[in-house]
Structures are given as C-alpha cells and as structure tokens.
A and B are shown apart, each in its own frame.
Chain A
Amino acid sequence: MSARTLSIKENILGANKEKAEINRKLLDRHRTLMINIMSSPGSGKTSLILRAINRFRDKYRIAVIEGAIASSIDADKIARQDIPAIQINTAGGCHLDAQMIKRALDTLDLDRIDLIFLENIGNLVCTADFDLGAHKNVVILSIPEGDDKPHKYPIAFVEADAVLVNKIDVLPYFDFKLDAFPEIISGFNPAAKVFPVSAKTGEGLDCWFAWIEETLA
C-alpha cells in the first residue's frame, strides 16, 4: 500500500478536556462546587484548605480530593477533620488528569457535598495544562518563592481565577514586592483576584473566604 497523509489537527490533550467537561457536568447536576488548588510544594495548599474547612464546616458539606506523588501525609491531616477525603496517589506522576478525578468523584456521595477542594500535586508547570473539571482554579504563591514566579510559570497564573499570596507574615524578611504584585497578575490575567493571606496568622483570609462564598452563591 502506498504512503498517504492523514490530516488530523486535533489537540493531544483533547480527550482529557472532554473528560473534564464530563466531570464538570456531573458536579453541576449535584450542585457541587469544585475548586482546584495549585502551587509549588510547600506554598501552603493543605494549610489553607484546613483553614477553609474550619471556617465553613458548619455551613457547607465539604470534601477534599488530595493529589500526592507519594505518601498520604496530607490526606491524613484532612481525614482528621472528619470530612470525606479521597487520596489520589500518582506514584511519581507530576500531575492529575480528568480521569483520575472522575474515579475520585465516583466514590463520593455528591448529593451530600456542597464544596470540594481539590489539592493538586505540588507543581506549577504540569498541573496547569490539565483541565480537571473544577469550576475555579486557585493558584497559591508564597512570599519566600519570590514575585518573579508568574513570569517563570505564566500558564498557571493565566488559568487562575484567584491567586493567594501566602505567608505574608514573613514579608519583612524577603524582597517580594507585594504592592506591585497585583499588577503583574492583572497584566496576564485581568479577571484574576489577588488575595494576600497568611495561613499561619489568619491575616487576609476573610477576603478569600468571601470569594468562596460568592462563588458558592
């Protein structure tokens, strides 16, 4: 048989995108909001999720999906809160995909859940390329990481609905220019909200919590 050219022009991650849409529709049917939380390792994803659980646990029914490359350290912390926590272990994989999230959602009783926090793998590079079916993407950047990170890892920030600048309690010890930071984000992504917070002291968290409540309403 002779050689011939097949025109394809199809996105390689298109299948993941389709599965992500299925996840979103599933969540919509159950009126469950899912917030995807992305950051580098150590920026405070788990701490900020724990803060939000404590704030909202009497008002909303919350579950957490925990992505981890290995170990269940974060999932164990969440499980101690006595709320549903599903651990996804990627066994070395650098990101989650929509199919993994589908399997996690299938184990949850979504009719009894208002809000899911999806703690992504600690990684700002790979995670941003994979739509998981969340309604909102939140990116956390902590003060010690430096204010140049949006320029180094722009895609995560371009996809963000909100950016939390965590660990503002240590701002005096670093060169992070917090005043100028919102302008860096709005340059890329005018729609994103920027919330300076400290998971440790609680400073600024009310603004982030108000954003969650608005999103749930």
Chain B
Amino acid sequence: MHEQSMVESLLDLALRNAEKANARKIVSINLVVGDYTGVQEEAANYYFGFLSKNTIAAGAKLNYSHVPGQLRCRDCDILFPLQKHDYHCPRCQGRRVEIVGGRELYIANMEVE
C-alpha cells in the first residue's frame, strides 16, 4: 500500500485523540485493517517508529486486527470469504459479486496514560 502516508494519518489521528483526552503517553494503538488495504505490518511499524519520535506516541505498539475479504453474491444473497482472487459465487458460480468486507482501515481504540 502506501504505509508512509497511512502512518502519517494514523499518527495524526492518534495524537489528536490523545491530546483531547489529556493523555501524557500513548502505550498502544489497536488497528483494524482489511486485507484489501494491503497494509504491510513491517513497513507500517518502521514508519511509525520513525515518525512518532519526539511525540507522546514514541515507543507505542501497533496491534493489528486483520479483516479478510468478504464477498456477497447479488443473486443468492449469501456471504463468502475471498479466496485466491476467485470472485465466483460458490453456490451459483455467478460473477455478480459485491465486496462487503476487507476495506476497513481504522483505529479501534488505544491505551494511553
């Protein structure tokens, strides 16, 4: 994906919320990340370490909760998980499939002191 700008936005959001709550330190940030976003943890952690220096988020741990791609057949109205780029409905084999899960990218919550 584009971990650098994702982390910039994430850090900005975390710092704003910490400030609002009069926190002195951010200990950890719990993220919800859909598989479609393609966020690479290693790259995100690297940029976070770099960008959070000299902020109250320095040293905070990023925890990732991954959401797999989920699809819905528009004809059968059943939900099924994305597997190996296969966009056929497992019931009718049709291609009228909507992406309903896996694009999440948000901070669920964070631990602060």
Chain A positions near chain B (C-beta within 8 angstroms):
1-16, 93-95, 97, 125-126, 129, 148, 151-152, 154-155, 158, 183-184, 186-188, 190
Q: Provide the main secondary structure of the chain A interface.
A: mixed
Q: Report whether B108 and A154 are in contact in the complex, using a CB–CB cutoff of 8 Å.
A: no
User: For the side of the interface on B, what is the size category?
Assistant: 35 or more
- A6-B18, A13-B6 provided; 6 other pairs, C-beta below 8 A? A12-B13, A12-B106, A14-B13, A129-B1, A129-B2, A152-B85
Q: Report whether B85 and A151 are in contact in the complex, using a CB–CB cutoff of 8 Å.
A: yes
Q: Report whether B111 and A126 are in contact in the complex, using a CB–CB cutoff of 8 Å.
A: no
Q: Report whether B87 and A154 are in contact in the complex, using a CB–CB cutoff of 8 Å.
A: yes
Q: Report whether A9 and B111 are in contact in the complex, using a CB–CB cutoff of 8 Å.
A: no
CA distance A11 to B13 in the complex (A): 9
Q: How far is the CB of B94 from chain A (nearest CB, A)?
A: 8
Given contacts A3-B111, A6-B110, whether A184 and B95 have CB atoms under 8 Å apart is: yes
Q: Report whether A188 and B97 are in contact in the complex, using a CB–CB cutoff of 8 Å.
A: yes
Q: How far is the CB of A112 from chain B (nearest CB, A)?
A: 32
Q: Report whether B36 and A97 are in contact in the complex, using a CB–CB cutoff of 8 Å.
A: no
Does B113 touch A at the CB level, under 8 Å? yes
- A94 contacts across to B, CB distance below 8 A: 2
- A125 contacts across to B, CB distance below 8 A: 1, 38
CA distance A186 to B14 in the complex (A): 38
Given contacts A155-B36, A158-B99, A188-B99, whether A8 and B113 have CB atoms under 8 Å apart is: no
Among B1-34, those with CB < 8 Å from A are: 1-2, 4-6, 9-10, 12-14, 17-18, 21, 23-24, 27, 31
